[in-house]
Copies of this chain bind each other. A is one copy, B any other.
Amino acid sequence: MKALDITEVAQRSGVPASTLRFYEEKGLIASIGRRGLRRVFPGHVLEQLTLIAAGRAAGFSLDEIARMFAPDGQPDIDRGMLSAKADELDATIRQLTAMRDGLRHAAACPAPRHLECPTFRRILRAAAAGRLSRPARLTPVRK
A residues with CB within 8 A of B:
44, 47-48, 50-51, 53-55, 57-59, 73-75, 77, 79-80, 82-83, 85-86, 89-90, 92-93, 95-100, 102-104, 106-108, 112-115, 123-125, 127-128, 130-139
| Chain B hits for A124, CB < 8 A | 47, 50-51, 54
Cα–Cα distance between A102 and B60 once the two chains are bound (Å): 14
- Contact indicator A127/B53 (Cβ below 8 Å): yes
Return the 9 tightest CB-CB contacts between A and B, nearest first: A132-B138, A135-B135, A58-B99, A54-B127, A82-B107, A86-B103, A89-B100, A79-B107, A135-B137
- Contact indicator A136/B96 (Cβ below 8 Å): yes
Give the nearest-CB partner of A108 in chain B: B79
Q: A57's contact among B51, B54, B79, B132, by CB below 8 Å, is which?
A: B132
